[in-house]
Chains A and B, each alone.
Chain A
Amino acid sequence: MTSARQAAHQAALQIEGVLLGKRERVRLALACLLARGHLLIEDIPGVGKTLLAHALAQTLGLRFQRIQFTSDLLPADILGVTVFERESGAFLFRPGPIFAQVVLADEVNRATPKAQSALLEAMEEGQVTVEGRSQPLPAPFFVIATQNPDKQVGVFPLPESQLDRFLMRIDLGYPDRASERELLQGEDRREILARLKPCLEPAELIPLQEAAARVHVAPALLDYLQQLLHYSRKTPHFLTGLSPRAGLALLRGAKAWAFLEGRDHVIPEDLQAVLPSVAGHRLRAVSASGVDPAEHLLSAVAIP
């Protein structure tokens, strides 16, 4: 347990070394992975989305595949195809890029809904069905999708039901001055990435996820969580409240965060730390008042 925790800590440090000045985001991404959730990174191109995905996969010693989503991408390009093999005289399934442990779905909102749904189904089921045959996906299976902000041209925004499939949505944002300076002075990120050594064996990740799920949740914390959920549902500020699935997601995220923080129990701060990224894409303010819905929710509910 302790060594696993140390390994997770080590991994976080290593990734932070690649993605300069993004300590909290890196930890959120790691927590999302530990909580067996999928991660959506929304930001403009060039802030390091792909780099983060790469670094995560490499540091954790996972098999990595990247799918570049384009408007002409077909489901088969993601899932794989069945081809007739002349030598054996049989149909053979050739797995697509989704059969990896970490899948980077780059610019997921540039693809058509049909292609998007192929990916999202796989995320949900943990398996893909090609021509009537179910093919299990490897474990752990972690999708990092990136998307460009909605306002950009030529995008098919993910519907709410599909956004819900992502445990967390984070943005990366521009680096601060010091990090930017270091970035400009330092060596090529890609070279660093190539040198990264895995901190974990692939087999070690699953016990780590299990340990994170075992983090203790006290009744008092559940009270707080329920009050948050209740508020989101009854307040007129939001179009829709948080779903039960969102509540479960919050709890999973908070547990993983507490685990990364080195605690064996969840405290309200853990919940507060993950809430913007877990609930942010699930809440929609009635009017764009400029206040982030998640921020509003947090400030409106007192800790019991």
Chain B
Amino acid sequence: MIRARPNATAWMWMLAVLLLAAAPHATHLSWPILGLCGGVAMWWGMGVWRTGDPPILAMPWRMAAVVFVLAVNYAVHEKWVAGRDPGVALLVSMMFLKLMEIKGPRDANLTMTLSYFLVTVLFFYDQSLWMGAYVLLMGLLATIALAILTRPAGPWVHRLSSARVVRRSLRSAALLVAQALPLMAILFLFFPRLSQPLWGLNEDAFRTSSSKVGLEEVMSPGSISRLTLSGETAFRVTFDGPIPPTSDLYWRGLVLWTFDGRNWRRPSLPLPSHPPMAKYFGPPVSYTLTREATHQPWLLTLDLPSELPEGAKPANDWVVPWDDPTHRLPRYRAVSYTAYRADAGLRKVPAQALQMPVRGNPKAKALARGWAESFPPAQVVEQSLLFFRREPFVYTLSPPLLTSADPVDEFLFTTRQGFCEHYAGAFVFLMRAAGVPARVVLGYQGGEVNRFSRHLTVRQSDAHAWAEVWLEGEGWRRVDPTGAVAPERVERGAAATFAGGLPEFLRGEGVFRQEFRFVWDMVQERWNRWVLGYDPERQRLFMSHLGFEGVDWEGLAAALMIGLGLFTAVAAWLLLRRRGAPPDPLVELRARLDRRLAEAGLPRRPEEGPLAIAERAAGRFPDKAGEIRDIFQDYARLRYGPDAEVSGVAALRERIRRFTLPKPEKGG
């Protein structure tokens, strides 16, 4: 098929698609690359706008531009082309440089086809639902641009207005994309999944949110209340059975042992290596937890886990290290018991559970020693909670800064306003000062049940810190001093506690907004579970559902190749058989006229020319004779005349649309 030479509209479409495809890359491109691409785009767009043809830059200049890009890459990333960032920088800039050597439809087709690649590369940086939608939209736009660029040069193409070309191209592109969707689904389901990421991508590729928020391995005053301002989802949980009450939903992340007077950290010395020992009571809670992509090398579990995914081995403080090289969405099944006894039979508690700086915080130490002198350890815990409950402590998101050298004293006796990290930290300090082994646990507490899909969504704002004390014969007991100050935090969750001071999205005002939030959360949950969470394991499961057991990825790849090859061959054969120029708009218009006349009882004889039928119709409908003659004369002039202008066809279409003839009388 002969292709029409693209006009200015087509070129501009191409440029627009290219800019839109490259736009999200702007955030990770260095500014010289951005400047180059922007400059080329402007220069090229101006050229097309002025002359209607793409301007061409001489070869040496293009070469110089490529060298420039490589040099920038090396300066910024210390690599020429290898790696994600330099590779993408090269791809984006080469796409724009390609503009400068476009001569005809062939180059344009190539550029547009490559733009699909440019869009797909966006997944290297972001795999959220939004990005998926954007990539799909860009796929449609690029297809439209291709359809415009490759429209056939029929003898009548000059009769189509630009708007009509775009409309037609939109239709055919939508059709193409719709046809591609089943193919996409098949490839998604059957394309071999590898457990190792391709091209050594780093973890950013599998992030679904735009910023890195999450628990840190150091707890200092303010580190968790900062998280509370984030509405981002930390993880989602689907329970097999009923959802336990909120006050039992303690999601264990890290255990912090070492206190330096201000910050709590992981133990500086290795913990004694005894296996974790626990006794479980009550009904088991089994659940599937899907975490938003994270770089945190440990799993979150409901306190206290008994069964963990294969390969996960809990340390004896039930922190579950997990090193996932792919950094995909970790998704795992686990079984926990909310009633348990841990390390009850331990003879010697690790020394780290009593560690504290020798100097500082004298008032807190004195208070704790006072308790220790009068009470046994279990009573010391009660006394301490009583202290928090009795004294005017305030649970607040915006506590005053602790500036003195003795932050624990300052908090306990002066400011008395704090968030969970203040309470947990101060409590553990008091316990250790009183000689009761204690540690800080970092994790999440509570969560929000989605009314639509019955899953639990735990957000960064649910981040929490609590304490564990070790009591003779009882083992580690969870103590949440925050609960002593603000019981509603533990019973109803963070959202209810801070209804006034939280960001708008968490407040849940208005029924509609809340419903929408639930639905949206459910959609994201499904996306994470079914799209991003479709890993080799799930693929194998899916294949065995279909009855193919033990298919390895090589076999899958071979089957896919053969299947797609056959499909393509058949489709190509079918398409090539009925290939032809698309219909002339004037032929369509004449068909419409013929129908109009036939409905009025005056069918056109096949051999009847336009003026002949016009005369016949004018004779039958004398009061319409003038209009009929005009229309048919216009039609004949446009169809057979030398200069059928676009506006003429549009005007004729409009006249035919308004043209009516009286219907023949029945039985007449």
Residues of chain A at the chain B interface (Cβ within 8 Å): 216-221, 264-269, 272, 298-304
Contact = CB atoms under 8 A, between A and B. Distances in A.
Contact of A266 (B584, B587, B608, B640): B640
A303 B636 contact: no
Contact of B640 (A265, A300, A302): A265
Nearest to A297: B607
Contacts of A217: 640
Contacts of B610: 267-269
B637 A265 contact: yes
Interface string B575-592: 000000000101100000
Given A219-B155, A220-B584, A272 B609 contact: yes
Contacts of A265: 637, 640-642
Contacts of B606: 301-303
Nearest to A218: B640
A216 B609 contact: no
Nearest to B604: A303
A221 B637 CA distance: 12
A170 B187 CA distance: 71
Nearest to B641: A265
User: Which 6 pairs between the two chains have the least Cβ-Cβ distance?
Assistant: A302-B606, A216-B642, A268-B609, A219-B155, A269-B609, A218-B640
Nearest to A273: B609
Contacts of B394: none
Interface string B375-408: 0000000000000000000000000000000000
B442 to A, nearest CB: 78
B557 to A, nearest CB: 49
Nearest to B642: A216
B607 A301 contact: yes
Contacts of B156: 219
B639 interface: yes
B160 interface: no
B611 interface: yes
Given A265-B641, A267-B640, 18 more contacts: A218-B640, A218-B641, A219-B156, A220-B639, A264-B641, A264-B642, A265-B637, A265-B642, A266-B640, A268-B609, A268-B610, A269-B609, A269-B612, A272-B609, A300-B607, A301-B607, A303-B608, A303-B609
B607 A299 contact: yes
Interface residues of B, number: 18
B642 A267 contact: no
Given A216-B641, A218-B639, A220-B639, A267 B584 contact: no
Contacts of A264: 641-642
A273 B584 CA distance: 26
Contacts, number: 50
A220 B608 contact: no
A272 B623 CA distance: 28
A269 B641 CA distance: 14
A206 to B, nearest CB: 23
A199 B610 CA distance: 33
Contacts of A218: 155, 639-642
B645 to A, nearest CB: 14
A126 B91 CA distance: 69
Contacts of A266: 640
B462 to A, nearest CB: 71
B641 A303 contact: no
B640 A220 contact: yes
Nearest to A215: B642
Interface in B605-633: 606-612
Interface string B473-491: 0000000000000000000
A interface, over-half SS:
mixed
A141 B611 CA distance: 34
Contact of A302 (B586, B607, B636, B637): B607
Contacts of B640: 216-218, 220-221, 265-268
B244 to A, nearest CB: 77
Given A216-B641, A216-B642, A219-B155, A267 B607 contact: no
Nearest to B643: A216
Contacts of B155: 218-220
Contacts of A221: 640
Contacts of B637: 265
Contact of A267 (B586, B587, B609): B609
B61 to A, nearest CB: 43
19 contacts: A216-B641, A218-B155, A220-B584, A220-B639, A220-B640, A221-B640, A265-B637, A265-B641, A266-B640, A267-B611, A267-B640, A268-B610, A268-B640, A269-B609, A269-B611, A272-B607, A301-B607, A303-B606, A303-B609
Of A219, A266, A301, which is in contact with the most chain B CB atoms at under 10 Å from its CB?
A219
A272 B610 CA distance: 12
Contacts of A304: 587
A165 B636 CA distance: 32
A302 B608 CA distance: 8
Nearest to B639: A220
Given A220-B584, A269-B612, A298 B639 contact: no
Nearest to A222: B155
A268 B607 CA distance: 9
A268 B606 CA distance: 12
A147 to B, nearest CB: 30
A172 B394 CA distance: 119
Contacts of B612: 269
A72 B606 CA distance: 51
A105 to B, nearest CB: 35
A301 B605 CA distance: 10
Contacts of A272: 607, 609
A264 B643 CA distance: 10
A259 to B, nearest CB: 14
A298 B606 CA distance: 10
A219 B639 CA distance: 9
Interface in B555-612: 584, 586-587, 606-612
Contacts of B608: 303
Contacts of B609: 267-269, 272, 303
B604 to A, nearest CB: 9
Contacts of A299: 607
Contacts of B611: 267, 269
A280 to B, nearest CB: 17
B585 to A, nearest CB: 12
A44 B178 CA distance: 72
A303 B607 contact: yes
Contact of A298 (B587, B607, B636, B642): B607
B510 to A, nearest CB: 63
Nearest to B635: A267
